[in-house]
Amino acid sequence: MKIKKFTFNSFQENTYLIHSNKECMIIDPGCNSIEEENLIKTYIEENQLIPKELINTHCHLDHIFGNNFIANTYNLIPKMHEKDLPLLNKAVDIAKLYNVSLNPPPLNVKTICENDVISLGNTSWEVIFTPGHAPGHICLINHANKKIISGDVLFLMSIGRTDLPLCNHEDLMNSIKNKLFKLDDEIEVLCGHGENTSIGFEKQNNPFLKIN
């Protein structure tokens, strides 16, 4: 299994492309220009990958900028939690408020929920429902390789914002403390922004969450 991270758009969002046995899935495609689209397309072509899945941890703009491009280029139906559909449906209007360009994301989607397992090559990724930063936020964990795609729930020395519409701070804290912090300390956290971290490091050092 290989994980390629791209940092895209003006929000510096991390898009993850995971591949195993030539199958790949794209998580939170944030590509928002022809140049960024070409970066991910070239990587797929040079590695002779077959895109199988398009998954959104949540539907804030910076994580769905590339949904239109990826879905149409590779004939994929985006997958996300049903509680984030209101954000998806309002995405074009929200983009106007931020004065940013957005190719309208496909509204034909498939929903996924907690404990669903997504298979890719010889790997499997379990869905964890982690609301707070967004009502339908999910994380994806690979237990065998001890990696979790955390979206915007948990960051290196920080946590996701809860001052946006439909956010809930109490839900976010519960998601982190009662779900993510129940995981093994050595699990690597691949964040939606910034650098990677680990569950154990954040337990001991995150100023918002430090556990003594």
Contacts of 112 (CB under 8 A, 6+ apart): 55, 79, 80, 81, 118, 127, 138
- Domain CATH code at residue 34: 3.60.15.10
Contacts of residues 117-120 at CB distance under 8 Å and 24 or more positions apart, as own/partner, are 118/25, 118/53, 118/55, 118/79, 120/18, 120/19, 120/20, 120/23, 120/24, 120/25, 120/52, 120/53
Which of 150 and 209 is assigned the larger pLDDT?
A: 150
pLDDT at 39: 98
pLDDT at position 211: 58
> What is the rounded CA–CA span in Å between residue 72 and residue 3?
22
Encode pLDDT of 64-114 as tens digits: 999 999 999 999 999 999 999 999 999 999 999 999 999 999 999 999 999
Residue 69 is predicted with a pLDDT of 98
CA 11 to chain centre: 14
DSSP 58: -
Phi–psi pair at 105, nearest 5 degrees: -70, 150
pLDDT at 212: 47
- With respect to residue 212, please indicate whether it lies within any of the assigned structural domains: no
Q: Total domain count for the chain?
A: 1
The boundaries of the domain holding residue 18 are 2-205
**pLDDT class of 188 with cuts at 50, 70, 90:** very high
User: What is the rounded average pLDDT of the residues 110-136?
Assistant: 98
Whether residue 183 contacts residue 140, with contact meaning beta carbons closer than 8 Å, is answered with no
SS3 50: strand
* 210, part of any domain: no
What is the DSSP-derived secondary structure letter of residue 180?
Answer: G
Residue 160, phi then psi, degrees to nearest 5: -70, 155
Q: Please check whether residue 211 lies inside any domain of the structure.
A: no
Condensed to tens digits (0 to 9), the pLDDT of residues 46-64 reads 999 999 999 999 999 999 9
Q: What is the mean pLDDT of the chain?
A: 97
Q: Would residue 56 count as lying in a domain?
A: yes
- Pairing between strand 188-191 and 147-151? parallel
If you average pLDDT over residues 170-193, what whole number do you get?
A: 98
Does the residue 108 lie in any domain?
Answer: yes
Containing H/E element for 88?
A: helix 85-89
